[in-house]
Amino acid sequence: MNQLPPMAAITGLYGLALVSHRLFLFLPIIPSLIERELESVGSSPSSDSSFDDDEVNARVIPHWSKYRDLITSQGYRLDTVRDPLKGNNYLSGYLRACAGWDDDALCKDPGLPENLFRATCCMTGMKLMIKAVNRLSREVQNVRYMSSPPLRQEPMNHYTSIVNMINIPADGRCFIVMEEWSSHLLPSIPSTLHEFLSAIHHSSGREGPRPHLERGQASDPYMIDEWALEPPQVAEFYVPEILHLTRPMLHHNPDQRPSAAAVLREFKRLVLSM
């Protein structure tokens, strides 16, 4: 099995988890602490026209050494040179980046963007990821909403497990402390392409409205396949010249969809006319 570049995989997933909200689930690890921190974050930037939306939502590039002691006081230790030497040997690039430094020096993983840093929970030893964001950003607002009590246990909530939020009003920063990997999806960080892809939801090709099955009646198998295959074909290969052919294939009533022979005849006619 080919090895997946771990940093590319994890970077992509963290961006996806906190932006598109499709892969992970919030867990109430320390809900009362999270709620207190969320309440201390200011109101939504969209409610105040004086905010520069682009500025507050731009990627934050913190000087991690400046916040090292503060983060440690909250019970989390940013990774130092000794960490990749101890247990993250599968991260070869991480190991090379920290080679030759003092053991107590912070070791920034070069495979992660500037606003992410690996960390460890001092009390439990759990491996974590800390993300720096603007405290007035939409991301913080999304975290506030998705971690609210009604949604925290919702099975459709696919955010990553949030451990804590460290709010720094003086600097306009907020550090989101999260699990390194969503343990409810995979028990350990994937190291192969197969393991990585197994944690991603894939469309079955049969999702969404299926009017040919909603009435519980017998249906022509061709009409069922036609409904399942036509929408992705239209979305991926948008050809205006054949829309008049594809539209009938999506008719709500399967009996009104064209037969295979009719579709082929019309397609051949279109090809000859081009």
**CA–CA distance, 24 with 266 (Å, rounded to integer):** 45
For residues 200 and 149, the model is more confident at 149
pLDDT band at residue 200 under the 50/70/90 scheme:
low
Of residues 175 and 1, more confidently modeled: 175
CB-neighbour burial class of residue 150 (10 A; exposed 0-12, middle 13-18, buried 19+): exposed
The pTM of the whole model exceeds 0.75? no
- Mean pLDDT, residues 190-216: 61
| Higher-pLDDT residue of 127, 157 | 127
Strand order in the sheet with 116-121: 76-78, 116-121, 127-134, 173-179, 162-168
Q: Which of 75-79, 132-136, 225-229 has the lowest mean pLDDT?
A: 225-229
Q: Comparing 127 with 13, which gets the higher pLDDT?
A: 127
Distance (Å) of CA 71 to CA 6, 149, 167, 173, 176? 25, 26, 11, 12, 11
pLDDT tens per residue, range 92-149: 555 565 665 666 788 888 888 999 999 999 999 988 999 999 999 999 988 888 878 7
The confidence score (pLDDT) of residue 230 equals: 55
User: What distance in Å separates the CA atoms of residue 51 and residue 49, rounded to the nearest whole number?
Assistant: 5
pLDDT value for 124: 93
Q: What's the mean per-residue pLDDT of the chain?
A: 70
pLDDT at 48 (0 to 100): 45
CA distance 73 to 70: 5
Note the pLDDT tens digit of each residue in 159-198: 778 889 999 999 999 999 998 877 666 667 667 777 777 7
